[in-house]
Each structure stands twice: as structure tokens, then as C-alpha cells.
Amino acid sequence: MREIDVSVITDNVAEMCISVNHFLSDDMKCAIEKSYDNEKNELGKVILEKLKDNLQIAGEEMIPICQDTGMAVIIMKVGQDVHFTGGNIEDAINEGVRKGYTEGFLRKSVVDDPLIRNNTKDNTPAVIHYFIVPGDKVEITLAPKGFGSENMSKLYMLKPADGIEGVKNAVLQAVKDAGPNACPPMVLGVGIGGTFEKAALLSKMALTREVGSHSELPHIKELEEELLEKINELNIGPAGLGGSTTAMGVNIETYATHIAGLPVAVNICCHVNRHIKKVI
């Protein structure tokens, strides 16, 4: 049994909150560079160049990539041979978020009640998902989610008879409905299968997968590639002003489901698609 003091989790989460809001992940940097090189629309290319400039300034001057520094979504994969000491793990995670957002001077966007709506003033609580996995390590994935794109996400409870064409139509409809509101070029996380809530979680986790990678399942890899091509034919383009780069990636995760259902969740993310991972 390996013991980890929860203060270690707090310190790492705080550092990750600051880092992910100022520095784009390598996969997203590559995706934006590739999009810039391939964009044929003149205005679209100008917009992508401005996005590249924004990223450079954010890193050099420690200014957040986007003013919406998001609601902290944290995926904890905890080895079954880990024992946390020194306090409650959930309190420790939220303390890390509080430190990161207050000491990093990041925007506080969380309200304590969805209807009364008083700001918590420290961006807590985070949305935390736990998974127990083999081993004695802890893997923390942090993906702050801005709500310009989050608000454009969709969940469809399709019928099995809708099949793969129904899935394609649902994803394309979600992108059309989002239009410029999701700050394109976007990245799509798609969850297929499971139940109502499992499909949504799959779609969120799909966004944390490296952009440019593909599913190990051949038919899902083919679907990812086809959807990306069809989305980029919609001519929504960078900032919604037209062009061939509406999306930079489509990541699909699947799970077993019921004989009577075909849940499909589409979690749309803006062009920064912030995500960072640490293993402790």
C-alpha cells in the first residue's frame, strides 16, 4: 500500500489550474498549426493567425488564453493500492482549485446554486469524476470547461434503428446548431453507448484524448475521420466567418449499451480545448 498525503494532490491541482489556463497542450498547438497551413479561406487564415498570436502572448505575458477560465473538471484515476492520508481527498482537490484560481488570478465563474446564483469567489466546487484502477499511482486530468462551447453541447437518445447514420446526423446537427457560438475551430468529444449519464461522461473524457489520435476500433476510427471531413464541409470556419476549418478533431469513445437504446452525447469544445494530465 502506497500512502499519499492529500496536500500533494492540492499542490498539483493548483499548479495544473494555472498552467492549463496559460499554455496550450502540445496536441492542440500542433492542431492549430496544421489548420493554419491547410486553411484555404483568406479570412479564415487571418483568424487562425490571430489565434496563434494570442497563444504566444498568453504564454509570454502570463495572461489567460481565454477570459473564460472555465469550470474545473477533474478526472481522478486512483490506483487501488493507494491510501490517501492527511484529510479528505475531495476537500484537497477543491482546495487545489481554490488556490490555483485565486493565486493565479483566474476568473471565478462558479455559482453555489444554479437558481440563486451567488458566486463562490474561488471557482469551487470542481466537477470531479473518480475511477479506481490497478496499481499505486494517481493520474489527475484537469480540463477547465468554458461555457460558450459547453452550452452548445447536446445529448440524443436515439433508437437502435437509427444506426450509424443517425449518429452522424446527430453530431452534424449539433455542430450546425452551435455555429459560431462555440468559438470555432472546435474539437468534438462524442460518447456513444452506455446510459444517459454515461454517454455524457464518455464525451467529456473524449475531449481529453490527444487531438489527432484515433480510436483503436477500426469502424470508430473511420467514423471519426468521416465526421471531421463532413463538419469541415459546413463552411462555418474559424470564428464562424467561413472556411474549411470548423473542427480540428473528432474524438469518439464508446461503451456497451442496452438493446433498446443508442445514446449519443456531443460535447463541443472551443479551439483551446484545455486539458492537462499528471501522474503522481
234-273 pLDDT per residue, tens:
999 999 999 999 999 999 999 999 999 999 999 999 999 9
pLDDT for position 203: 98
Continuous H helices in 2-115:
6-20, 26-38, 42-61, 89-103
pTM over 0.85: yes
Is 200 in contact with 155 (CB distance < 8 Å)? yes
Task: Name the pairing type of β-strands 276-279 and 262-269.
Answer: unpaired
pLDDT for position 218: 98
Is 237 in contact with 183 (CB distance < 8 Å)? no
pLDDT for position 257: 98
- How far from the centroid of its chain's Cα atoms is residue 249's Cα? 12
pLDDT for position 271: 92
45-85 pLDDT per residue, tens:
999 999 999 999 998 999 999 999 999 999 999 999 999 99
5-48 pLDDT per residue, tens:
999 999 999 999 999 999 999 999 999 999 999 999 999 999 99
Closest CA to 236 of 264, 208, 271: 271
Is 224 in contact with 254 (CB distance < 8 Å)? no
Task: Name the pairing type of β-strands 247-257 and 186-194.
Answer: parallel
d(CA 15, CA 20): 9
Residues in the chain: 280
Closest CA to 41 of 239, 270, 231: 239
d(CA 51, CA 49): 5
The C-alpha cell at 193 is 453507448
Averaged over 162-183, what is the pLDDT?
Answer: 97
pLDDT-based confidence at 205, cuts 50/70/90? very high
pLDDT for position 58: 93
